[in-house]
A and B are shown apart, each in its own frame.
Chain A
Amino acid sequence: MSEIDPKLLQQLDEPSRQEVAAFIQQESSKMKIQSSVTSFTDKCFKKCVSTIDNGNLSNYEANCMNDCLNRFLDTNIKIVEILQKLQK
């Protein structure tokens, strides 16, 4: 990051700025999704994988990961609903 001269950036014309800004938006939402996925994986791996006997996921583990993710997201929605009710 440090090697870019801020003066050069300020000399970019409007369309170029918009292009770069759009690129940043796009990369940052990609990043948000990636870090959510890593955090869900971290959480669900702890719950669903108990023994490491080979490198593949068993059917049980795969189903558990899937359920774990969806119940976590359900919980998230429930919490938002509860907080919304409290606000009223």
Chain B
Amino acid sequence: MSSFLGLGGSKSNSGAGSSLSSVQTQQVKDQVKSSIATEMATAYATSLVNSLTENCFDKCILQPSSSLTSVEENCINDCASKFMRSWNLISKSYIARINNP
């Protein structure tokens, strides 16, 4: 991680002559941060959607037909809400256990 994008390395590249103005520095920093945050959020959303789809498909679509029935749609709604409640519960318990082993 320390060598990521050449960050945290030696000072060899920050020599005089090529340094940025403070406005530019702020812009570059903001750009890097927001692009990292976006990547992370996308990865998180993707894995959540995959896990939700897999679990709710298994629980709700017992006999696939030519389209989703209203029963299946209700089940998917309830399943997704149950899953997110479970996620929040697990998150709370896990963090509690990490902080207080």
Contacts and interface: CB of A to CB of B under 8 A. Distances in A.
B69 interface: no
B13 A23 contact: no
Contact of B29 (A16, A31, A35, A70): A16
A4 to B, nearest CB: 6
A9 B6 contact: yes
B13 A10 contact: yes
Nearest to A73: B97
B2 A69 contact: no
A73 B93 CA distance: 11
A41 B90 contact: yes
Most buried by B among A19, A33, A34, A35: A34
B82 A55 contact: yes
B32 A35 contact: no
Interface of B: 1-2, 4-9, 11, 13-14, 18-20, 24-25, 28-29, 31-33, 35-37, 39-40, 43-44, 47-48, 51, 54-55, 58-60, 75, 77-83, 85-87, 89-91, 93-95, 97-98
